[in-house]
Amino acid sequence: MENLDNITKKDLLKETIQHIDIKQYDSTELIDAMRRMSFTSRDTARAADILTMMCREKDCTNILTIAGSTSAAGCMQVYVDMVRNKMIDVVVSTGASIIDMDLFEALGYKHYVGTKENVIPDTKLRELYIDRIYDTFIDEEELQACDQATCDVADMLDSRPYSSREFLYNVGKWLAEGHGVKKDSLIQTCYECGVPIFCPAFSDSSAGFGIGKHQWLRKKAGKPYVSIDSVADFLELTEIKMNCPESGLFMVGGGTPKNFAQDTVVCAEILGKEVPMHKYAIQITVADVRDGACSSSTLLEAGSWGKVSEELQQMVYAEGTTVIPAIVSYAYHNGCWKEREYKQWQKLFMR
């Protein structure tokens, strides 16, 4: 690109990312054809079948875990539709996915079609206050407004420790009361549908900056402040596992959300209650198993820890945006969710 010295933020932040609407695209024929293929195609079809089974089992609590940047890259509406249509009962997410991406767009901001490295120098992007996620751009000044939003919510709350689930419930309520611009954000949808959101590494996001600012100012004024209790998160999610007959996992990427959701089986045992392993499990990832990291560990490996049952599991080695819409569209158009009810796990903690 020529004349980089004259390029402006407005020049680069033009074309917004369009989030795919799985309700408008029926992938049934595609998935049925892939079932008769090999490699990742067949794995993708089996994952679609397992998600359909998870949704057909009315008493199964389905947990969506999100790591990585698929929310910024065009899958944000997919996750909203999964919750709205009763396919998902609990969400476990990274702070980036739920705050820096979802709350960010709920406030009316956008992600933009950008470029990969070496097209626009990242030093130039920094000069313009543009953040890059691979080939997606974000306005850093708008992201700082997202930081401030979490500070504003913290300022409204009683000064005490909160689980991330409880804090995000209050963010959803705040959005529903008119502070949001986009009405179908994942946070607000979960609030409206009684679906709890857990964020086990909450501080690793805009929330860390916003609540950090809240704490800093309160400390300087000699006042008590809001804090996030990550152990409370773990116990709350385990409590859901202890109260549901069966559970299934739909895992996008790996990271802390993956392990956090799987570990509830072990935690329940330590708390004195035997619970079944997660009956269903799907993981979509490009992580390489050879480094021994949790993100890349297979679902079979999780079985050795007593976390995931072996029979109804599927690893799909693909970048999420390429297969998630097809898998979820198949389950949606299959109608397997229509006889499910909202489980309202949020009410478990309203006491």
Read off the pLDDT of residues 1-44 as tens digits, 9 standing for 90 and up: 557 778 999 999 999 999 999 999 999 999 999 999 999 999 99
Alpha carbons 345 and 237: distance in angstroms, whole number: 10
Q: Which of 86, 258, 279, 307 is catalytic?
A: 307
Closest CA to 128 of 119, 118, 136, 138: 138
Rounded Cα distance, 300 and 175, in Å: 40
| Residue ranges for the chain with pLDDT beneath 50 | none
Question: Measured in whole angstroms, how far is the alpha carbon of residue 118 from the centre of its chain?
Answer: 29
Model confidence, pTM: 0.95
Helix spans in the chain (H): 9-12, 28-34, 39-56, 70, 76-84, 95, 104-106, 122-127, 140-156, 164-174, 186-193, 206-220, 230-243, 255-262, 264-270, 299-304, 320-334
Question: What angle, 0 to 180 degrees and rounded to 10, lies between the N-to-C axes of helices 255-262 and 230-243?
Answer: 50
Q: Residue 66 and residue 329: Cα distance in Å, rounded?
A: 18
| Burial zone of 10 (CB within 10 Å; 0-12 exposed, 13-18 middle, 19+ buried) | exposed
Please report the pLDDT score of residue 1 as a whole number. 52
As a whole number of angstroms, the distance between CA 316 and CA 306 comes to 21
Q: What is the b/e burial string over 177-214, where b = at least 16 CB atoms within 10 angstroms of the residue's CB?
A: eeebebebbbbbbbbbbbbbbbbbbbebbbbbbbbebb
d(CA 142, CA 129): 10
State the burial class of residue 234 (Cβ atoms within 10 Å of its Cβ: 0-12, 13-18, 19+).
Answer: middle
Nearest Cα to Cα of residue 137 among 112, 118, 100: 112
- pLDDT tens sequence across 164-203: 999 999 999 999 999 999 989 999 999 999 999 999 999 9
Q: What's the DSSP call for residue 16?
A: B
Residue with tokens 């297979």: 298
Q: Is the separation of the CB atoms in 282 and 314 below 8 Å?
A: yes
Tokens of 224: 């008590």
pLDDT given for residue 107 in this prediction: 98
What pLDDT does residue 32 have? 98
The enclosing H or E element of 137 equals strand 136-139
Identify whether 223 is a catalytic site residue: no
